Amino acid sequence: MSSNNPEQWRKQLSAEQYHVCWEKGTERPYSGALLHNRKSGDYHCVCCKSVLFHSAAKFDSGCGWPSFDKAIEGRVTYTEDSSHGMKRVEITCGQCGSHLGHVFPDGPTETGQRYCVNSLSLEFDPDEQ
């Protein structure tokens, strides 16, 4: 599905998911369904189902949103974002362009990165047991 077809996205997504993914919204901190998920598996784009993050990269940053120290290579696009009077790097799905959140250079692991991602922009697919 093309990212320039808002009516199709509105049919596929909840109003909250559409707001986050296509209007660059943000869910309330500490409200996301995936914030405290500790299961092993993959995190997919809620729009196009592309795999973006693996659970091994997830950590508790205390920021109120799911955090990862790295994305799967080539799956995320980075764009400078100076909205809201801040200088940040927006992250979007590399396949469909939907908004995921932002990445910051203050992560506690060896990557030094903190991908701060909205739960509403993700789906979780657990590893088979």
Q: Which residues are part of the catalytic machinery?
A: 116
Q: Pick from 33, 50, 57: which is nearest to 114 by CA? A: 57
Task: Determine phi and psi for 45, rounding to 5 degrees.
Answer: -65, 130
As to burial, measured by CB atoms within 10 angstroms (0-12 exposed, 13-18 middle, 19+ buried), residue 58 is buried
